[in-house]
Amino acid sequence: MKARPPGSAQPPPTRITVFQEKNSGREKIAGINEFGREIEFAQIININDALPNLIDDPESYISDRIEGDLVLSFLKHPDLAEYLVRVCNSQKIPVITAGKKIPGAISPFTCCGLGRHQGLGHYGEQFGFPEFEVITADNKIVSLIVKRGASCGATWEAAATLIGKDPKEALQTIAREVQYLCTADPAAFDPISGKSALHYAGEVHFHALQKALRGTGAIKIKN
């Protein structure tokens, strides 16, 4: 993660605590480390135990005191995931449970489906629904800056492959590039949108690039 320049008057880093099972959040942690700015990990709590189907004592796995400004939950066991949200709510710490809808949590379908919410600090500014700033010249993309993207890092990696392409070709390929890199569960399905996680990730990146290209006036794209 990139450090704040000396003497900067920016707000302090956002401190994040991660809960995961058997390193289930490792790709997101790596992406945040590589592409995040002004973010620190307060704790990374990894549960490696073989878990029973029913957990009567979730407090034996999760402390009732959590550090940090924001919690990212990659817990798969419903008893643990729901208990963690209750603890976070009691401490008024926002908690994100991407791909798992839990009352009291912010629950985007994928990490790149996170909208803008108050209280998420630098994480919410940098990660979620993708946003691009694009420069074209001679009908080629010469610069594609990721202003906001997926915490797994797929947005930045896909953007790098589009430099030098003409805008229409870039639009035709960005979804495929993102889907190739996407770490979401390919079996995940959103009943509201009717899309799989991979399809959804590709689509939100397509629309983000389309919006950025429209803003340049270099290409006119019909809806």
Query: In terms of residue numbers, what domain contains 99?
Result: 14-107
Tell whether 113 is covered by a domain: no
Tens digit of each residue's pLDDT (9 = 90 or more) over 146-194: 999 999 999 999 999 999 999 999 999 999 999 999 988 877 777 767 7
Tell whether 1 is covered by a domain: no
Provide the number of structural domains found in the chain. 2
| Together in a domain, 88 and 135 | no
pLDDT at residue number 218: 55
Band (120; pLDDT cuts 50, 70, 90): very high
Are the beta carbons of 179 and 158 closer than 8 angstroms? no
CATH of the domain at 170: 3.90.1010
Tell whether 5 is covered by a domain: no
| Together in a domain, 151 and 85 | no
Band (143; pLDDT cuts 50, 70, 90): very high
| Together in a domain, 21 and 66 | yes
pLDDT at residue number 23: 97
| Together in a domain, 95 and 49 | yes
CATH of the domain at 69: 3.40.50.2300
pLDDT at residue number 8: 53
pLDDT at residue number 106: 98
| Together in a domain, 141 and 193 | yes
CA dihedral of 148, 41, 99, 48, whole degrees rounded to 10: 150
Tell whether 125 is covered by a domain: no
pLDDT at residue number 188: 75
**Of 107, 140, 172, the domain-final residue:** 107
Tell whether 177 is covered by a domain: yes
Tens digit of each residue's pLDDT (9 = 90 or more) over 64-119: 999 999 999 999 999 999 999 999 999 999 999 999 999 999 999 999 999 999 99
Question: Residue 150 is encoded by which pair of tokens?
Answer: 């997926």
pLDDT at residue number 186: 74
Tens digit of each residue's pLDDT (9 = 90 or more) over 27-68: 999 999 999 999 999 999 999 999 999 999 999 999 999 999
Tell whether 52 is covered by a domain: yes
